[in-house]
Amino acid sequence: MSGAGLAVSARVLIEFGRSRRVLALWVLFPAAMLVLFGWVRADEMGLADAFTVTAPGILVGAGLFFSCLGGPISVLVVERERRTLRRLLVSPLDGGSYFLGIVVAHLAVAAAQVAFVYGLTIAVGGRFLGSMALGAVILLLSVLSYVGLGFFFAGKVAKSAEDVNGVVAGIGVPLLVLGGTFFPADDLPPVLRSVAQADPVFHMNQAFKAVATRGAGAGEIQWNLALLVVLACVAMALGVRSYRRLLDVERSS
Amino acid sequence: MLRVNGLAKRSGDRDALKHVAFAVEEGEVFGLLGANGAGKSTTVNIIAGLLTADAGTVTLADEPMTRERRTRLGVATQEIALYPTLTCEENLRFFARLYGLRRAHLRARVDGVIDRMGLATYRRARAETLSGGWKRRLNLAVALVHAPAVVLLDEPTAGLDVEARRLVWQQLRNLGAQRAAVVLTTHLLEEAEALCDRVAILARGRVAAQGTLEELRRLVPAAELAVIECDDEPLLRARAGALGLQVRKYGDRFTLLLPERTTVTALAGRLGEVGLHSIALQPVSLLQVYLEVGGIESREAADSQPALV
């Protein structure tokens, strides 16, 4: 990635680090959800195992979802509102470097969230049972899917900072619940379980939970993995297209 | 240095720009003066690459303006565009990195522009904590951090109070001294008079006139102006006509173009009984040039150009 792209990543991370909203939504919320749902399930299987089975869903759903889907939407919408996007357009920064800069910043945020959620889990005796490399691949595909969709929504739906919460809550939260973020998808009624097959979060959760809690190998989750690869490609393509259109609109505004 | 030749741009069913042409040399501050909607920002946006012209060319050092050559431009748009949670220094460092500056070179440039713009006190202050005047200065500093050969400034003092405006003017004068070619858009006549070596007056998307301030003043066929308030317009026009004086009407007032200097008493005596309420003599101003070359007369026309002050 170019130096300009890295400059974008660094700037985005500094801005995130200074935002109370980011701290609340991306750190305190997943931590609270992990503790709460871990505690609920502790009676059933003990605290350590409860955290072990709860952490994957909370990380993919409550953690990465808000940071990596809500994050790019927020960055782009705010950048347009304060007219800095226009200023970037007259600089030598090319669109691709900017896009990659945002992706890299969110990968860094995701890495910090993984460390934080699993730090908490390990602190109470929980574990990650499977291949860390396979887990990392699933998380990478999940982050790319979220970021791509974030760019898509930023270009298509969210026109102001107020819209961001609406998009994240209105579109996202139902996907999280259906995707088995807060409780096992096995607990869903059969009809909803069928519907959940169309929910990308469901496949992220299924794949990551299988690796993290059962030590599943790539062969066991090949269907979920294949879907995640397709989803990541489609989401990034949609995101790039929507972002290009957004830049054209911004140039002529 | 910078040449704009035959720029044209349609916006809906009207010409936003038509055959706009001018050149700006190294070390020169060139003003694009005009009311809101005259085409100033459209011109700057085309030079900056934000808009595409329907016709015409922009060249830098006699070469067509390409993406690569645009790195030699510094652009401060009309709106203050900064990252509020970043400090002044961080904002400058970020934009300097976008222009390819690294390490010692970057540090030297950031330090230099902070010194020149008087931002040292606020170096580590977040942009969101600065007052409007200081934000405007930082906004300008960001446009200058990579030492551009051409600086495009779109209404650089918009929204500033008199004191803050004069501080920014001081910085802009220094730019010319540093051999940058500066293109400045403004609807403030005072700003154009204070800063610009040459001015192009834009009216309805066309360059109505351009030249040094002195050259522009000579476009008004008068040595002096008499600004008059009176009740009897037909009589005033008749008397002025008899004396061979041209009359212009702007709002409730009349302006007589006097071919030679005179005194209030002498002029009042020559006009006779025309129901004068007041009469004042004044030198030919840039405002008069603007009104004259823009062909703006009568209350309706003057009201359609409300932002020029």
Q: Which two tokens stand for residue B6?
A: 């035959």
What is the rounded CA–CA span in Å between residue B288 and residue B246?
13
- Which helix H or strand E contains B202, and what residues bound it? strand B198-203
What is the rounded CA–CA span in Å between residue B184 and residue A74?
33
Write down the pLDDT at residue B37.
81
| Mean pLDDT confidence for B72-89 | 92
What is the rounded CA–CA span in Å between residue B216 and residue B260?
18
Write down the pLDDT at residue B297.
52
Contacts of B97 in chain A (CB under 8 A): 3-4, 6-7
CA distance B206 to chain A (A): 20
Write down the pLDDT at residue B299.
37
Q: Which residues of A69-103 are buried (b: 16+ CB within 10 A; e: fewer)?
A: bbbbbbbbbbbbebbbbbbbbbbbbeeebbbbbbb
pLDDT tens by residue, B52-77:
899 999 999 888 888 888 889 999 98
CA distance A244 to chain B (A): 14
What is the rounded CA–CA span in Å between residue B186 and residue B38?
11
Question: Predicted confidence band at B303 (pLDDT cuts at 50, 70, 90)?
Answer: very low
pLDDT tens by residue, B201-254:
988 889 989 999 889 888 888 889 999 888 888 888 888 888 888 888 887 888
- What secondary structure does DSSP assign to A8-66, as a single string? HHHHHHHHHHT-HHHIIIIIIHHHHHHHHHHHHHHHHH-HHHHHHHHHHHIIIIIIIII
Write down the pLDDT at residue B302.
43
Q: What is the mean pLDDT of chain B?
A: 86
pLDDT tens by residue, B119-143:
999 999 999 999 888 898 899 999 9
**Cβ(A121)–Cβ(A50) below 8 Å:** no
* Straight-line distance from the first to the last Cα atom of chain A, in angstroms, rounded to the nearest whole number: 29
Put simply, whether B66 touches A (Cβ < 8 Å) is: no
* Residue B94 to residue A11, Cβ atoms within 8 A: yes
DSSP B101: -
| Mean pLDDT confidence for B37-42 | 87
Out of B50, B67, B81, the one facing A251 most closely (by C-beta) is: B50
Contacts of B73 in chain A (CB under 8 A): 90
Q: Residue B188: count other Cβ atoms within 10 Å of its Cβ.
A: 18
Write down the pLDDT at residue A108.
95
Q: Which two tokens stand for residue B228?
A: 């008059």
Spell out the per-residue pLDDT of chain A, length 253, in tens.
788 899 999 999 999 999 888 878 888 999 999 999 999 999 999 999 999 999 999 999 889 998 998 899 889 999 999 989 999 988 988 888 999 999 999 999 999 999 999 999 999 999 999 999 999 999 999 999 999 999 998 888 767 767 777 777 788 888 888 888 887 888 888 999 888 888 889 999 999 999 999 999 999 999 999 999 999 999 999 999 998 888 888 877 6
Out of A11, A87, A252, the one facing B77 most closely (by C-beta) is: A87
Q: CB under 8 Å to B86, separation ≥6 — which residues?
A: A11, A14, A15, B94, B126, B127
Write down the pLDDT at residue B162.
83
Write down the pLDDT at residue B296.
60
Q: Is the pLDDT of residue B290 over 90?
A: no
